[in-house]
Amino acid sequence: MKKRLGILSILLLFSTLLFAQKFTASVSKSNVGVGEQFEVDFSMNAGGTHFTPPNFNNFQVISGPNMSSDMTSVNGNTTLNITYSYILVPTKEGTFTIDAAAIVINGHTLVSSPLKVTVKGQAPPVQKQAQQAAAAPVDNSKADTRDISKQIFIRAVVDKTHAYVGEQIKVDYKIYTRVDILGGQPDKAPELNGFWNQDVVNKNGNSWKSEVYKGLRYNVTTIKQSILFPQHAGDLSIDPLTVNFGVRLPLPAINVLGTMYNNFKDVPYKAKSQPIIIHVIPLPTTGKPVDFTGAVGSFSLYTDADKKELKANETLNYTVEISGTGNLNLIDAPKINLPADLEKYDPKTTDRITVDSNGVSGSRKFSYLLIPRHQGDFTLNPVNFTYFNPASKKYITLPGKAFRIKVNKGDAQANAPAFNSSDQQDIKLLGNDIRYIKTTAADLYKDGEGFYNSAMYYILLLLGPILFAAALFYRKWNRQYNSDLVKVKSRGAGKMAAKHLANAQKELTAGNRSAFYDAIAKGLYGYLSDKLNIPVANLNKENITAQLQSHSINSITINHLVDTMDLCEMARFAPVTGISEQQVFDKAKNTINEIEDKI
């Protein structure tokens, strides 16, 4: 009995959640005259995306869609109502049906009910005059675009404008807006001539905050962060970042309806940050140590040897680790002076470097492999590391530690044979450089019993020309197969897309939303560029749609592709709602598979 009650409770909860989301349609009048105005509303009680209106056949659309929202909170219970409104005028008599509209709420597509409207007779004369005034065409060119640069712009913000050569500089590119952004696409990345730079990867996505700038309040988000290291002295310029936006501007009211309903115009706008001049100061020459190699920042030094006693010809690992903040990626391996009897190999470099909003920090470790060739006591001299500290404006030398190494006689030395009994002298065996005289009898074979003149000998002798001919044939076939670069790129498009999708799956598992959408976008655009042979400069939705249609790809697949690309673009500037990242991933993967099946 308890089990049944539990199942019943779950079903009731599920049905409550399902039916809590409502999407309804209504009309202000169901009986109107020809030329008489009436209103159609599509309302929902939750936020939704991808609103699809019906085709208003036999009606003239005077205004719409006009979006409005209303939020009410009573005794802690909050209700939300969002409405898309249209003002229509019938053009002839009859009984007409306004088809259903659709919208996506929390990943589910909801559809409204169709509406019936009866049109009979003519509208009253007074109302008809008001209709004609209301129906006056809206001149979208009157949208106030003169001051759009004050409504949305990009700022490049640096933490310092004066820096030494090699000193790290943080630059943030921020969007300031007082209007709705429909989408955005970077147009030109800043040129950073004279700088070595690293971009900061934002794993948490873009977040918006309110900020007052020059007396006005804006919505602000950071779209790009970079850490720069100037490479030479002088005035260096951080060039602008350019982004193409789609923005929604309010139109001025030209009639009574304009004061009742919000009229908008969607316009493209290119925003560009202002260039910034960085005054780079040369490093001081006074007091500059001879072993300074260009490290700038704040660092510490650690040295270690993994063995203090070993045998000759055994290996020893000697480690030099530099930690701190600054231009770690530009630090070279320090020079070490070793005794002549220690053989040294090139160091292995291991980086544990973090690039975040605070700058570049971490460690760079150099591991040297040393081999003592003779027994004895040796000293590993201290390794010094010199860097310039911009805060104190001084060169600082960090001393390493010296290590005493005891090398015992190796096994090869102990077992080395002597040349004669009267004057025994050890032979120093260096690896396999010296071989000893073989004292055992050599293996002797009769003529024909060995490998020479055997059947295997002749088989291998003939195999050479056969393999050579096969290689020539394969090379000719391979050249012909790969002679058409367009076909080669098209064949490899699927593999390249799969690589980006695998990276997107990895970022999705790690919870990196921004990197996930970036990987999906790269996968889609890279796949379409290679598959359809569209140059990157011409890779836009119009050209993509035209090419897919020419290959007889159905409109549903094309719409799914365009929707996914729009979601990836929107995710760069604001959180995506109404659809999960897994659904976006599945949608992109299925779309690519459908295109692969057709092309």
pLDDT in tens, 50-104: 778 888 888 887 776 777 666 554 555 556 677 888 888 888 888 888 888 888 8
Pairing of strands 309-311, 403-408: parallel
**Given this model, what pLDDT does residue 9 score?**
43
**What is the predicted pLDDT for the residue at 163?**
94
321's tokens:
């680790």
Q: Is 204 exposed, middle or buried (0-12, 13-18, 19+ CB in 10 A)?
A: exposed
| CA-wise closest residue to 54 among 30, 32, 27, 18 | 27
**Is 3.40.50.1110 the CATH classification of the domain at 2-137?**
no
- The vertex-533 CA angle with 532 and 534, nearest 5°, equals 95
Contacts by 262-266 with C-beta closer than 8 Å and gap 24+?
A: 262/66, 262/67, 262/68, 263/63, 263/66, 263/138, 265/140, 265/143, 266/182
Just give the CATH number of 148-281.
Answer: 2.60.40
Q: What is the pLDDT of residue 489?
A: 67
What confidence score (pLDDT) does residue 235 get?
93
Q: Could you give the maximum distance between any two Cα atoms of the chain, in Å?
A: 137
pLDDT in tens, 539-591: 778 888 888 888 888 888 888 888 888 888 777 666 666 678 888 888 888 88
Confidence band for 220, pLDDT divided at 50, 70 and 90: very high
Kindly indicate the confidence band of residue 139, based on its pLDDT and cuts at 50, 70 and 90. Answer: very low
pLDDT band, residue 438 (cuts 50/70/90): low
How many percent of the chain have pLDDT more than 70?
A: 77
Model pLDDT, residue 490: 66
With contact defined as beta carbons under 8 Å apart, do 494 and 592 qualify? yes
Residue 138 is predicted with a pLDDT of 39
Structure tokens at 61: 């659309």
What is the model's pLDDT at position 274? 92
Residue 563 CB coordination number (10 Å): 17
At 164, give phi and psi (nearest 5°): -80, 160
Q: Is the backbone peptide bond immediately before 65 cis, with ω within 30 degrees of 0?
A: yes
Please determine, for residue 143, whether its predicted confidence score (pLDDT) is greater than 50. Answer: no
Residue 141 scores a pLDDT above 50: no
pLDDT for 229 = 94
Q: Does pLDDT of 158 surpass 90?
A: yes
State the pLDDT at residue 18. 40
Q: What is the pTM of this model?
A: 0.47
Q: What is the pLDDT of residue 448?
A: 55
Per-residue pLDDT at 127: 45
Rg (CA), the chain: 38
Average pLDDT for residues 8-24, to the nearest whole number?
A: 51
- Across the range 132-151, mean pLDDT stands at 53
Other CB atoms within 10 Å distance of the CB of residue 153: 19
**The domain defined by 485-598 carries CATH number 1.20.120:** yes
Element (H, E) at 438: none
Please state, in angstroms and as integers, the Cα–Cα distance from residue 593 to each residue in 217, 380, 497, 553, 590, following that order.
46, 61, 10, 12, 5
Q: Find residue 230's DSSP bridge partners.
A: 195
Mean pLDDT for the stretch of residues 480-499: 70
Provide the pLDDT for residue 441. Answer: 55
What is the phi-psi region of residue 520: left when phi exceeds 0, alpha when psi lies from -120 to 50, beta otherwise?
A: alpha
- pLDDT value of residue 150: 87
Q: What is the pLDDT of residue 578?
A: 66
126 has pLDDT over 70: no
pLDDT computed for residue 261 by the predictor = 46
Domain 299-408 - what CATH class? mainly beta
Query: What's the rounded mean pLDDT across residues 193-197?
Result: 89
Contact 319/367 with Cβ under 8 angstroms?
Answer: yes
What sign does the CA torsion over 415, 420, 424, 426 have? Answer: negative
Terminal alpha carbon distance of the chain:
58
Q: Does the pLDDT value for residue 264 go beyond 60?
A: yes
* Alpha carbon distance 523, 529 (integer Å): 10
How does pLDDT run across 351-383, given as a tens digit for each residue? 999 998 889 999 999 999 999 988 899 889 889
Answer whether 2-137 and 299-408 agree in fold.
yes
156 pLDDT above the threshold of 90: yes
Q: What is the DSSP string of 515-570?
A: HHHHHHHHHHHHHHHHHHT--GGG-SHHHHHHHHHHTT--HHHHHHHHHHHHHHHH
Read off the tokens for 240. 């602008």
| pLDDT class of 258 with cuts at 50, 70, 90 | very low
What pLDDT is stored for residue 460 in this prediction?
86
Rounded (5°) CA angle 459-462-467:
115
Residue among 90, 98, 158 at smallest CA distance from 119:
90
pLDDT more than 90, % of the chain? 23
Q: In what order do the strands lie in the sheet with 276-281?
A: 162-164, 276-281, 234-238
Q: Which two tokens stand for residue 348?
A: 């292995």
Cβ-in-10-Å burial (0-12, 13-18, 19+) of 578 comes to middle
Contacts for 374 with CB less than 8 Å, ≥ 6 apart:
312, 341, 407, 428
Q: Give the burial class of 126: count Cβ atoms within 10 A of its Cβ; 0-12 exposed, 13-18 middle, 19 or more buried.
A: exposed
Domain ranges of the chain: 2-137, 148-281, 299-408, 485-598
pLDDT at 516: 86
Mean pLDDT of the chain, nearest integer? 78
Which residues is 96 bridged to in the sheet? 117
